[in-house]
A and B are shown apart, each in its own frame.
Chain A
Amino acid sequence: MKKQIFKISLLTIASFLCFSLYANHHEKTYKFETIAQGLSFPWGIAFLSNDEILVTEKTGQLRIIKDGKLLEDPITGVPDSLFKGQGGLEGIVLHPNFANNKYLYLSFSETDADNKKMNSLRVVRGKLEGNSLTEVETIFRASPSRKTANHYGAKMVFLKDGTLLITSGDGFSYREEAQKLDNHFGKVIRVNDDGSIPSDNPFISTPEAKPEIWSYGHRNLQGIVINSDGSVVYEHEHGPRGGDELNIIEKGKNYGWPAITYGIDYSGALISPFKEKEGMEQPIKYWVPSIAPSGMTFYDGDLFPEWKGNLFISALVPGDVRRITLEGNQAVDEEILFDTLGRIRNIVSAPDGSLVLATDSPKGKLIRVVPNN
């Protein structure tokens, strides 16, 4: 009897030791450094250099953080945006040749000039000169306009051929439009850097189709990135109640929303009883219940060698980051990280190999994740 008690005690102590060693190891892998705070719903992040960061605030300002200090004056010349519901000043991306041409691209929701009840997603480019954005020109405007201030998408990424992918959400109340090609609801859009339409877009010769469409059948796409050699495009989108998806985007493909989905409506109703159909793509990963994926980066840095080649997806619910291990075109593993910071709006890789997170709050923070040693 005494021997048994001794064995059980020994086993318990060993288990505790193992657990604390495991927890310790994970705690010591990285640490957080606050870069800036007091940002008004920070959304998009772009690096001019490792210590000079552009951040869009959903409330409409483009801010600069320089050498760890949030500059008081926002950049001038940024067009007015509609800050309402899920809309505002959102995506930002630098031209691949930014060092020479100074072009940056902004996506935002905007009230229609001729009908104040309607709004749409608009993408502009402008030249960053000092503290001003000049020569601002529209390169894309989603059509038709919508009444709702939800589901804009509004993320952007440049492909290695120099064209720009833009995510355009389904507008919440227009979900069926995602299956039609005569509109921009629920689409990935592809344009040249000046907004013209590439001649090899898949539906350029399809009657009544919008020629900017690259893929369709999407919901609210808030993450789009390419891998290190630019050969694969990863995209994630919010599902409704469950059914968030991670997809590999390919030219001309239909990703199924809302004809097939792993989620149901917020009301509890089925959106579709179908989860798959021939001719409609399956996600490489989906989440039920939802995690509300809000941003994504493909990690190719050197500060965390063990994370190289992984996807990092920020999540608003319950508020964490998902590290996705990829093998070929499969998502084979998922680890939950950084779950003490609340709702995370975005995650990007910095030039020095650190990860930078934006928290979703009227007093949002930019936080850098660096190795702990």
Chain B
Amino acid sequence: MIKGIIKIGFLFLTILLVSFLVGAQTTVSNLIWLSSIDMPVTFTVLISSIYHDFILMTLTSAQPPLPPLPVLPIIISLGLVISFGVTWIVLRWLKTQKKYAYGIAGAVALAFIFYLMPLVFFGVDMLAGARTLTGKIILVICGYLGGHFFGSRLSKGES
């Protein structure tokens, strides 16, 4: 029972971590472009922008035309739960380190999310950081890092 609660806690932390990383990737990609056209992007601007985006993208409900929910963490939750669920089943037969297996699961989840997003949201990438191939690759790496964190926490919890 307690182990189950701890696992859910790890999952929650992973969703929060991935949401933060995805948000920060969009923030940083916006700021890199702004800096390239000589806008005054300072360290303070960087920190305050990352904070702003974390609060508004992860902890606040979206506004029309999006549904009135914290859309980003909900979409990431769905992707990770499905992907981690499949990984949990696969790991019953396949012997490999959990941190790598869940890492790959996280990466696959994010790849699917950012592939499917334009099909759901008006034919466009609603997340600015996902508009380029480089951006998409970085987001997939964010998914890997989240999964890796989840897998390594599970391994530690069991040892």
Q: Which residues of A are in contact with B by a Cβ distance under 8 Å?
A: 85, 148-150, 172-173, 176, 179, 241, 259, 264-274, 277, 289, 317
Are A259 and B37 closer than 8 Å at their CB atoms?
yes
The residues of A that contact B124 with a CB separation of less than 8 Å are 148, 150, 172-173
Are A266 and B63 closer than 8 Å at their CB atoms?
yes
Stretch at the interface among B49-57, B77-85, B108-116, B146-154: B49-57
Are A150 and B39 closer than 8 Å at their CB atoms?
no
Are A270 and B27 closer than 8 Å at their CB atoms?
yes
Given A268-B56, A269-B23, A271-B30, also A150-B123 (CB < 8 A) = yes
> Closest Cβ of chain B: how far from A174's Cβ, in Å?
9
The residues of A that contact B128 with a CB separation of less than 8 Å are 265, 267, 269, 271
User: With an 8 A cutoff between CB atoms, is B33 at the interface?
Assistant: yes
> Closest Cβ of chain A: how far from B98's Cβ, in Å?
31
Task: Give the CA-CA distance A265 to B52 in the complex, in Å.
Answer: 12
Q: Which residues of B are in contact with A by a Cβ distance under 8 Å?
A: 23, 26-27, 30, 33-34, 37, 39-40, 45, 48-49, 52-53, 56-57, 60, 62-66, 71-72, 122-128, 131
Are A269 and B34 closer than 8 Å at their CB atoms?
no
Given A150-B123, A259-B34, also A270-B49 (CB < 8 A) = yes
Q: Which residue of A lies closest to B23 (CB)?
A: A269
Task: Give the CA-CA distance A173 to B124 in the complex, in Å.
Answer: 7
The residues of B that contact A265 with a CB separation of less than 8 Å are 26, 126, 128
Contact of B64 among A172, A277, A317 (CB under 8 A): A317
Are B123 and A272 closer than 8 Å at their CB atoms?
no
Are B45 and A266 closer than 8 Å at their CB atoms?
no
Are A272 and B30 closer than 8 Å at their CB atoms?
yes
Contact of B123 among A149, A273, A274 (CB under 8 A): A149
Extra pairs beyond A259-B37, A268-B62 (12, CB < 8 Å): A173-B125, A259-B34, A264-B56, A265-B128, A267-B128, A269-B23, A269-B27, A270-B30, A270-B53, A271-B30, A289-B63, A317-B64
Are B26 and A272 closer than 8 Å at their CB atoms?
no
> Closest Cβ of chain B: how far from A145's Cβ, in Å?
15
